[in-house]
Chains A and B, each alone.
Chain A
Amino acid sequence: MKKVLCLLLALSMVLALVACGNDNKQNDYTKQPDNSQQTPGDTQQPDNNKPAELITVGVINNDPNESGYRTANDAAMRAMFTEENGYKATFYNNNDAAQQIAEAQQMVQNEVDFLLLSPASTTGWDTVLKDAQAAGTQVILFDRMLEADESMYVAAVVSDMPAEGKTAVDWLAAQGLSEYNIIHIQGHMGSDAQLGRTGALDEKVAAEASWNYVTQQTADWDEATARTIVQSVIDSGKPFNVIYAENNGMARGAVAALDAAGITHGKDGDVIVMGFDSDKWAFEAVLEGSWNYMGLCNPLQAETVDQIIKDLVAGNAPAQKIIYTPEQGFDCNTLTQADVDTYGT
Chain B
Amino acid sequence: MNKVIEVEHLTKEYKKQKAVNNLSFTVQEGEILGLLGPNGSGKSTTINCILSLLKFQKGKIKIFGKEMTPSAYDIKKDIGVVFQEVAVFEELTVYENIDYFCGLYIKDRKKREQFILEAIDLVGLEHYQKFYPKQLSGGLLRRLNIACGIAHKPKLIFFDEPTVAVDPQSRNNILSGIETLRKNGATIIYTTHYMEEVEILCDRVMILDKGEMIASGTIAELKKLTNIEEKVTVEIANLKEKEQKKLKEFPNVMDVTYQNGLLIISYKKGQNNLLTLMDYLKENQINYQKIYSERPTLNDVFLELTGKELRD
- The answer to whether A and B assemble together is no
Give B contacts to A, CB under 8 Å. Answer: none
